[in-house]
Amino acid sequence: MLTIYGVYCSRASRNYWMAEELGLPFKSVPVIQARLLADPLAPDARSNTKSPAFLAVNPMGKIPAIEDDGLVLTESLANNLYLARKHGGPLAGADVKEEGQMLAWTLWAATEVEPHTVKIVLTYDNARENTPAGQGTIEASVEGLEGPFARLEAHLKTQDYVVGNRFTVADLNLAEVLRYAMSETYLFEKHPRVKAWLARCHARPAFEKMMAGRRKEAEAA
């Protein structure tokens, strides 16, 4: 059975969403971000990204990690590409060309988009959005996202989804990276196709299941 190490309020959300899309039974092993704990190495500390047991799974000390049929993988977006390839169906590439496109959109999300969106979400997570430094970070990140949003807006002119005109792992991966920028409504108002595409992705029942997991986790914290 698929095992997901992480928590819903982390990049593991991407893998929980994917498992729900594929209807996969999975075991969730809670591992929290070490930065959220005062002393991650305290004997009574919750299992976290600095716990020796987790470092044996991912020596980088980052969540998520997945374990599937003896294989351990540790990059959230790659984990999803692997699960799509393994289980097939509409979320996966229908041929090697589509697989190439899905890989390209995923690497684009990771390298051209996420460096900006993650700065935005961390500014809010750390309650710095109303400080001059926080506002500077958000402004610079929004500026960095203008190009990627324009590119995606143009791409969506002729299709509802990024690859093959159906919802695929490429949409899921990109949507999860762009979710971090949702506070910046200006970007979405300026790019209505991107806004509508993200809403389509978020209307999926599997996304709602993942979000319910996040809410449950937040309530228990």
Ligand X SMILES: N[C@@H](CCC(=O)N[C@@H](CS)C(=O)NCC(=O)O)C(=O)O
Give the residue with the Cβ less far from ligand X, 94 or 118.
118
Give the residue with the Cβ less far from ligand X, 64 or 93.
64
Contact flag: residue 119 with ligand X (CB under 6 A): no
Stretch binding ligand X (CB under 6 A), from 61-69, 155-163, 196-204, 205-213: 61-69
Q: Binding residue for ligand X (CB under 6 A) from 10, 80, 141, 173?
A: 10
Give the residue with the Cβ less far from ligand X, 33 or 137.
33
Q: How many residues bind ligand X (CB under 6 A)?
A: 12
Closest separation between CB of residue 165 and ligand X, Å? 27
Residues forming a β-bridge with 67? 3, 72
The one-character DSSP state at 15 is H
Which residues 30-59 are close enough to bind ligand X by CB under 6 A? 33-35, 49
Site string for ligand X, 66-105 (x = CB under 6 A): ---------xxx----------------------------
Closest separation between CB of residue 176 and ligand X, Å? 9
Helix orientation angle between 96-108 and 76-87, rounded to the nearest 10 degrees = 160
Closest separation between CB of residue 197 and ligand X, Å? 21
Helix orientation angle between 76-87 and 12-22, rounded to the nearest 10 degrees = 10
| H or E stretch covering 211 | helix 205-220
Residue 119: count of CB within 10 angstroms of its CB: 18
Residues 6+ apart with CB under 8 A from 174: 105, 106, 108, 109, 113, 152, 162
Q: Give DSSP secondary structure letters for 110-175.
A: IIIIHHHHHHHHHHHHTT-TTSHHHHHHHHHHHHHHHHHHHHHHHHTTS-SSSSTTS--HHHHHHH
Give the residue with the Cβ less far from ligand X, 4 or 164.
4
DSSP reduced 3-state for 29: strand
- What is the C-alpha radius of gyration for the chain, rounded to an integer number of angstroms? 18
Give the residue with the Cβ less far from ligand X, 8 or 167.
8
Closest separation between CB of residue 34 and ligand X, Å? 4
Give the residue with the Cβ less far from ligand X, 34 or 206.
34
Contact set with ligand X (CB under 6 A): 10-11, 33-35, 49, 62-64, 75-77
